[in-house]
Amino acid sequence: MKQLILAIDIQKEFITEGRQYHIRGIEPSLINAKKIISHARKNNIPLWFMQHQQDNRCFIKNDPLSALIDGFEPKENELLFTKSMYSCFSSNEFSEKLAEANPEEIIIIGYGSSMCCLCTTIEGIHRGYRFTLIEDATASANFPHANEEEMHRSAYHILRQYAKVIKTADLFT
């Protein structure tokens, strides 16, 4: 099966205390995301990175906090796209390259599960793509009505309607 791994918004905003979308419990998902990235590189699975950048109160263009987390930068032959909205499809370049690549399955890791991962998956299925979300390589920030765990659990339960939802270990079996 022709797969593509999409690392969505693995950015410093999520690991910086005091920021609006800081995820206190992010570390386990970062460890799993690292394993998946390593797996992709060892097995020549295309690995694409998305970076959220906007002119707002967070994820600000050229702000150091909008940079990818150290160790999660693309290497040679890996693509990096930027977007200004929640869905990765808000990047025309991403949409065009994805149409050219035409993967049978897009595997999603990254942040936030309740926003960008969710929006990308829903918009993508409307465009004919199939998705797998790696539940333990994603996470969500707190919101006024729910904590990180509640938001993330709700997101991946909703995503089960649109995508296959698995854990990191399941990807390697």
Q: Name every residue whose Cβ is closer than 8 Å to that of residue 75 and which is 6 or more positions away in sequence.
A: 41
According to the model, what pLDDT value does residue 30 have? 98
According to the model, what pLDDT value does residue 173 have? 80
**Token reading at 158:** 């909703």
CA distance linking residue 126 with residue 4, whole number of Å:
18
Angle between helix axes 118-126 and 148-159 (nearest 10 degrees) is 10
Going 164 to 42 to 51 to 11, the CA torsion angle's sign is positive
pTM of the model: 0.97
pLDDT in tens, 48-63: 999 999 888 899 999 9
According to the model, what pLDDT value does residue 66 have? 95
CA distance linking residue 133 with residue 131, whole number of Å:
7
The average confidence (pLDDT) of the chain is: 96
pLDDT in tens, 70-128: 999 999 999 999 999 999 999 999 999 999 999 999 999 999 999 999 999 999 999 99
Q: Name every residue whose Cβ is closer than 8 Å to that of residue 104 and which is 6 or more positions away in sequence.
A: 1, 2, 3, 130
Q: What is the DSSP string of 56-81?
A: SSSSBTT-GGGSBPTT----TT-EEE
User: Residue 172 above 90 pLDDT?
Assistant: no
According to the model, what pLDDT value does residue 89 have? 98
User: Residue 161 above 90 pLDDT?
Assistant: yes
According to the model, what pLDDT value does residue 57 have? 82
Side-chain-facing half-sphere of 28: CA atoms under 13 Å:
9
Domains of the chain: 3-171 (3.40.50.850)
| Average pLDDT, integer, range 29-33 | 98
User: Residue 1 above 90 pLDDT?
Assistant: no
